[in-house]
Amino acid sequence: MTTVSSADLAPHRQRIVAAAAELTVTSGWASVTMSRLADMVGVSRQTVYNEIGSKPQLAEAMVLDELARFLAVVDEAFDNHPGDLLPAITDAVRGALELAQGNTLLHAIVSATHGADTELLPLLTTNAESLLDTAKTVVAERLRPYDLPLDERERGAVIDMVVRLVLSHVMQPSGTPEQTAADIAWIAGRVLAG
């Protein structure tokens, strides 16, 4: 009998989430079933349930996986501008908005407005607590090294405002990524200056 370690299971989860994203983009969220995912990944349906749980948990895993790509852009922007806050914010926002423009999964989620597909959109809007908390934690960590004239509560309020503002522009852009990034960085710079 072969034993399977938890390290061996992680690739199953990643492949299942990737397959769900691919299926959502090509056929819509309503077409995503645990059986189809099992067939695509080459595992049993029970393995899909064991790795992911329910379909709502799969949706959340898919959205959080996508969020990780956006947060990698934020990290890269701050890494490229150590000690220079406004250019870091500008590049982080611009990078996130540029990634959103060409993101087929995000477009599939945002445009899913009928039938069973509507369960995805709340993950990005009304029920976005884990998404927002994750993004705010990353941004807070990136701002920690800066000497800002704000107490912890004020810093948290600024982070919340910027993350929600960026998410709003990801969902419904109103200008180019460059202009929007410049505008958000200007606002953030004014507030962070105290």
Domain ranges for the chain: 1-53, 62-192
| Four-CA torsion 65, 69, 71, 75, nearest 10 degrees | 140
pTM score, whole prediction: 0.81
pLDDT tens sequence for the chain (194 residues)? 344 444 444 679 999 999 999 998 898 888 899 999 999 999 999 999 999 999 888 988 888 888 899 999 999 999 999 999 999 999 999 999 999 998 888 877 766 544 445 566 666 665 577 788 999 999 999 999 998 999 999 999 999 999 999 988 988 899 999 999 999 999 999 998 87
Q: Which helix (H) or strand (E) holds 9?
A: helix 6-27
Structure tokens at 15: 């492949």
| 70 contacts 80 by C-beta, under 8 angstroms | no
Q: Which CATH superfamily is domain 1-53 in?
A: Homeodomain-like (1.10.10.60)
Integer angstrom CA distances of residue 148 from 42, 99, 152, 153, 190:
51, 29, 10, 12, 11
Q: Using CB atoms within 10 A of its CB, is residue 37 exposed (0-12), middle (13-18) or buried (19+)?
A: buried
Length of the chain: 194
